A and B are shown apart, each in its own frame.
Chain A
Amino acid sequence: MQELNKHVKSINHLLERYGVRFGIYKDGVFKEQLFPFDPIPRVIGKEEWDEIEAGLIQRVTALNLFLSDIYGEKKIVKDGVIPPEFIFSSSGYLTACEGLKTPKGIASHISGIDLVQGKDGKWYILEDNLRIPSGASYPLIARDLCRTASPGTFAGTHVADNRDYPKMLRDTMDYVSTGGLNVILTPGRYNAAFFEHSYFAEKTGAVLVYNTDLTVEDDKVYLKTAAGNQRVGAIYRRTSDEYLDPLAFNPESLIGVPGLFQAMRKGNVAILNAPGNGVADDKGIYYFVPKMVEYYLGEECKTNNAPTYLPYYEEDKKYVLDHFDDLVIKDVAEAGGYGVVFGNTLTKEKKADFIELIKTEPRRFIAQEVIDFVDLDILDEDGVTLIPRKADLRAYVLTGEDVRVWKSGLTRFSRNPDSFIVNSSQGGGFKDTWVLQH
């Protein structure tokens, strides 16, 4: 791996060559920037990975069962495992999806599960992302470029090849397709993840489309080509639920496809991931995932949640207020590292205001013990010195004919020495993730 560090300049040149960028809006202006890459990979041994993999398969299987149940019979609510408030007041719960039957019964085809490794060596799940988790393209292309820049690094390392992701994605689309083209629906080139949309289209052979390229006729979806309409069978959409179809969701959406949701309801097209998944990756619902695993699968949950408290429950609220300074408080409606507050960083006045907010809107927040997760070394700007930084791991679980975990993942790190926030939108960088085969 030291070998790889010597080639950081070449790797950065290749990243520029292939336009490995993400978009960001600053003061209302769109800007593209390179996603800072650190060449030192996170390395996960085989046994450790096997445990992570088994846990993730179990977790995503349960989450998919939960989604089918919640928009169907709601047995988990009727049986008192999850209070109804946590379902129906969730911003991710969509009444329009009631009774929705997804092709092959899968709602979360591409799940991005965020984990951290605590200093006790245990892996903890921080978040489940079941809507449009992004980021897989970065370790995918980074691996390719690192192998180009430093082939010697990989000789004899027994690292699982991660370049099968496009095939996994394509297999997933093919499995749920109702017949016709696979397309990737992008909100447009000014979307933060446009690089990923276009890269996956190229690598999977799917057609990259904009909303205006699609039309719905007789509840079937067609791609409008110069040679006439062509039937679409699977849509890997990168547009969020509310903007997906102005007839079903936000009527003011200009980036949606009118009638798309009805076509899906009729079973005429597969949408990956299905609309309405937000109810399952709500930060409040996270608390209940281990209970879901037990409820649907009759198994003990193999993944660890970070110790979490719901101010919704009186007992938990008391704990949160008593231990405010030791906890991280998260607004369930926010994402991307926003709405995250470390109790000990607030001034006296702000703390008092925040506590008042928790008392008046207890459902809006969760509180978690701050997990002191391990630091990973990154190369300093001088290209020589190693400095420790907080890092998480986004693992990708694809559900098609089987539930499969991609043997890699996006390791994100904070570039700020005092921060636990690793999101790219807040200045974080990324690493490749190596999973060893032996």
Chain B
Amino acid sequence: MGTATLGKLDSLYWLGRYIERVYQSINMYKSTYDRLIDQDAELYKGECEKMGIPDNFTSAQDFAWKIAFDTDNPLSIISNLYRAYDNAMVMRDEISSETLAYVHLALAEIKRGKKSEAPLMELQNVEDLIFAFWGCLDDKVDNESVRNTVKIGKRVERLDILLRRDADREDLQREVSRLVARIDTTCLPYNRKALLYAAAMVEDDSSDYEDIKKMVWDIVPPFL
């Protein structure tokens, strides 16, 4: 990526992070929503706590709608998709119109879900479009460094979410090793020490998740 400016690297990296955040959020939403229908109406409170989402919701229904579709809530799925869109649309020349199209379509789809009586249908479509986005990125973007910068964003985001959700150490190890394998194929300014520490910590059963989390946040510090 010979002509990558820091601004472009930043947008590509955050595009990957937000797309992954949307994907992971939809997955969590699907399982929570299902249980909210007829099981534990208070269940969402625990989810909020785990993900650091302020519980300003009045009911399970209020949570279910707002966390998916409320554009005034910066933590909602739709808000995160907008952030992905903001980063994608300025990268048309790098990721191609074809790849960008899947972000446009996902946004159109989630907007339709706002009025739906069965929002999981539209969210399923958004998830499908995210898969298509990744496939298209691999197929249409020749520049490996561009592809990998977006994927590094995805890996860092996934690692962050896994840590928040107290995932198995095995899952953490897999994600860290993917990060290590790919990060040097990009021009991203990153903190190698933090990456190596994080890699060592996930291997060490005695290390605390909170400490790993802090280390992960340091891997790609804000560089703009």
At the interface, is chain B mostly helix, strand, loop or mixed? Answer: helix
Asked if B93 and A208 sit within 8 Å, CB to CB, the answer is yes
Assess A201 versus B92: contact at CB under 8 Å? Given A18-B101, A226-B187. yes
**From B2, B92, B96, B105, contact of A225 by CB (8 A):** B2
**From B3, B7, B101, contact of A210 by CB (8 A):** B7
Bound CA–CA A223/B2 (angstroms)? 11
Asked if A209 and B5 sit within 8 Å, CB to CB, the answer is yes
Asked if A230 and B3 sit within 8 Å, CB to CB, the answer is yes
Q: Could you list which residues of chain A lie within 8 angstroms of chain B, going by C-beta atoms? A: 16-19, 181, 189, 194, 198-199, 201-202, 206-210, 212-213, 223-227, 230
Asked if A199 and B92 sit within 8 Å, CB to CB, the answer is yes
Across the A-B interface, give the 4 residue pairs with the lowest CB-CB distance, nearest first: A201-B93, A198-B92, A226-B187, A202-B93
Name A224's closest neighbour in chain B (CB-CB): B5
Bound CA–CA A270/B108 (angstroms)? 40
Bound CA–CA A208/B96 (angstroms)? 13
Bound CA–CA A389/B188 (angstroms)? 52
The smallest beta-carbon distance between A183 and chain B, in angstroms, is: 9
Bound CA–CA A307/B4 (angstroms)? 51
Name A14's closest neighbour in chain B (CB-CB): B101
**From A16, A189, A199, A225, contact of B3 by CB (8 A):** A225
Asked if B90 and A189 sit within 8 Å, CB to CB, the answer is yes
B89 in the interface, Cβ–Cβ < 8 Å? yes
Asked if B105 and A213 sit within 8 Å, CB to CB, the answer is no
Q: Mark B96-132, 1 if CB is under 8 A from A, else 0.
A: 1100110011001000000000000000000000000
* Chain B positions 113-165 with a Cβ under 8 Å from a chain A Cβ: none
Assess A226 versus B92: contact at CB under 8 Å? Given A17-B101, A181-B3, A210-B7. no
Asked if B90 and A198 sit within 8 Å, CB to CB, the answer is yes
Q: Could you list which residues of chain B lie within 8 angstroms of chain A, going by C-beta atoms? A: 1-7, 9, 86, 89-90, 92-93, 96-97, 100-101, 104-105, 108, 187-189
The smallest beta-carbon distance between B107 and chain A, in angstroms, is: 9
**From B5, B90, B108, contact of A226 by CB (8 A):** B5
Name B96's closest neighbour in chain A (CB-CB): A202
Asked if A207 and B104 sit within 8 Å, CB to CB, the answer is no
The smallest beta-carbon distance between B207 and chain A, in angstroms, is: 32
Bound CA–CA A199/B9 (angstroms)? 19
Query: Which B residues touch A202, using CB under 8 A?
Result: 92-93, 96-97
Bound CA–CA A199/B187 (angstroms)? 24
**From A19, A189, A227, contact of B101 by CB (8 A):** A19
What are 29 sample pairs from A and B whose C-beta atoms fall under 8 A apart?
A16-B108, A17-B104, A17-B105, A18-B97, A18-B100, A19-B89, A181-B3, A189-B90, A198-B90, A201-B93, A202-B92, A202-B97, A207-B93, A208-B92, A208-B93, A209-B5, A213-B5, A223-B3, A224-B6, A225-B187, A226-B6, A226-B9, A226-B187, A226-B188, A226-B189, A227-B2, A227-B4, A227-B187, A230-B3
At the interface, is chain A mostly helix, strand, loop or mixed? Answer: mixed
Contacts A198-B93, A202-B97, A208-B90 aside, 20 further interface pairs with beta carbons under 8 A come to: A16-B104, A17-B101, A17-B104, A18-B101, A189-B86, A189-B89, A201-B93, A202-B96, A207-B93, A208-B93, A213-B5, A213-B7, A223-B5, A224-B6, A225-B3, A225-B4, A226-B1, A226-B4, A230-B2, A230-B3
The smallest beta-carbon distance between B191 and chain A, in angstroms, is: 15
The smallest beta-carbon distance between A116 and chain B, in angstroms, is: 32
The smallest beta-carbon distance between A184 and chain B, in angstroms, is: 8
Bound CA–CA A199/B91 (angstroms)? 10
Name A226's closest neighbour in chain B (CB-CB): B187
The smallest beta-carbon distance between B98 and chain A, in angstroms, is: 9
Query: Which A residues touch B100, using CB under 8 A?
Result: 18-19
The smallest beta-carbon distance between A157 and chain B, in angstroms, is: 25
Bound CA–CA A34/B3 (angstroms)? 31
Interface-central residue, A207, A210, A225, A226, by most chain B CB under 10 Å: A226
**From B7, B92, B104, B105, contact of A212 by CB (8 A):** B7
Interface-central residue, B7, B97, B187, B188, by most chain A CB under 10 Å: B97
The smallest beta-carbon distance between A125 and chain B, in angstroms, is: 33
**From A19, A199, A206, A225, contact of B5 by CB (8 A):** A225
Bound CA–CA A216/B90 (angstroms)? 24
The smallest beta-carbon distance between A255 and chain B, in angstroms, is: 14
Bound CA–CA A194/B93 (angstroms)? 12
The smallest beta-carbon distance between B91 and chain A, in angstroms, is: 8
The smallest beta-carbon distance between A237 and chain B, in angstroms, is: 16
Query: Which A residues touch B5, using CB under 8 A?
Result: 209, 213, 223-226
Interface-central residue, B1, B92, B108, by most chain A CB under 10 Å: B92
The smallest beta-carbon distance between A369 and chain B, in angstroms, is: 43
Asked if B89 and A198 sit within 8 Å, CB to CB, the answer is yes
Bound CA–CA A209/B3 (angstroms)? 10
The smallest beta-carbon distance between B102 and chain A, in angstroms, is: 9
Query: Which A residues touch B89, using CB under 8 A?
Result: 19, 189, 194, 198
